[in-house]
Amino acid sequence: MAKKRLNMKIVIILTVVGMTTIALGAFVAYKKWWPKDPAVFEQKGDEFLAKKDYGRAQKNYGYAVYHTEKGTADFSRRTLILVETLFDWTRFDPSLGDSDRSEQQRRAKKLLEDLLTSDPGNIAARKRLCQIWWEYLIVSTIRGGSKGSFDPALSTEYIKEAEILLNSDDLEDKEIHETWFRLATVFSDKAKTKKNIYDKKALHAYGKALELDKDNPRYTKGLAFHHGNMRRTLDGQKLLVKAMAANPKSADMILIYTQYLRSIATMHPDRCDRSEILSIDEYHVS
């Protein structure tokens, strides 16, 4: 009986040693022959992405990032490719569940934050992170059913990232007018309850947006309505009249002016001539 137990122990020991040897051999083979060239993984990711196989595409892009030296231009570029692939995965793959979708969005955001920690001057990454916070703001407003007000915590995060971006040295003016407008929109929203802090900031940001894209009707509308919200209704009206004079054939500006007058008539009926609304309406439809 003792001899049988001894033999059994020997068999177990030999089995364990054998399995360990096999595992070690497999590991060595993996290290020796498994491809570590990030360009190979990136190419595979491109192939899967072309087939809209986002799951396998992001996996290969992830390997490419892992095998790329940190701090290099290729590391930043491949990280941004991975981030966009993850967001495409969450947007375009209906088989992805809500929890998985949220997890991949958090993962993409974390990749950007980690990249900016090591490379704070990365303009592309900073712009993408600003875009994410802006999308969070819009989605939270829609889901929350709020009447045009942003989530205060998300607003704070957007302001922080946008101001870092706008203070970047290597940023070209043509890239930032939309960021100035969005920042102005957030400041204007906060000015509704903290006018003494955010009114001037909103005016400055709207002014920068219009300085860079002076004929954009959305920017003119934003500034005009900000004046209206701050009870400077005449300033808003003068701004829109001037914009219509500069663009007399712009149907957008006429519509915006009509919307503005109607808004003022509703919010501040003592500050608006209702007959002017009718005359503008008649001109618009004629």
Q: What is the pLDDT of residues 122-169, one digit of tens each?
A: 999 999 999 999 999 998 888 765 566 899 999 999 999 999 999 987
Neighbours of 185 (CB within 10 A): 24
Task: Kindly state the DSSP code that residue 150 receives in the 8-state scheme.
Answer: P
Among 55, 75, 56, smallest CA distance to 65 is for 75
Angle at 201 between CA 123 and CA 191, to 5 degrees: 120
Q: Quote the pLDDT of residue 284.
A: 45
Kindly provide the b/e burial profile for residues 164-176, where b requires at least 16 CB atoms within 10 angstroms of the residue's own CB: ebbeeeeeeeeeb
Q: How many other C-beta atoms are found inside a 10 Å radius of the C-beta of residue 60?
A: 23
Helix (H/G/I), strand (E/B), else coil: 122: coil
Contact 154, 186 (CB under 8 A): no
Judge contact between 153 and 189, C-beta under 8 A. Answer: no
Closest CA to 180 of 157, 204, 196: 204
| Tokens matching residue 102 | 């949220």
- C-alpha distances (whole Å) from 286 to each of 245, 254, 257, 274, 282 are 18, 12, 16, 19, 6
In this prediction, residue 285 has a pLDDT band, given cuts at 50, 70 and 90, of very low
* Strand ranges (E), 68-220: none
Per-residue pLDDT tens over the stretch 198-220: 999 999 999 999 999 998 999 99
The number of beta carbons lying within 10 Å of the beta carbon of residue 143 is 9
Q: Write the pLDDT tens digit of every residue in 7-48.
A: 566 656 666 656 666 766 555 544 444 557 999 999 999 999
Which contacts of 115-120 are long-range, i.e. CB under 8 A and separated by 24 or more positions?
115/76, 115/79, 115/80, 118/70, 118/71, 119/71, 119/76
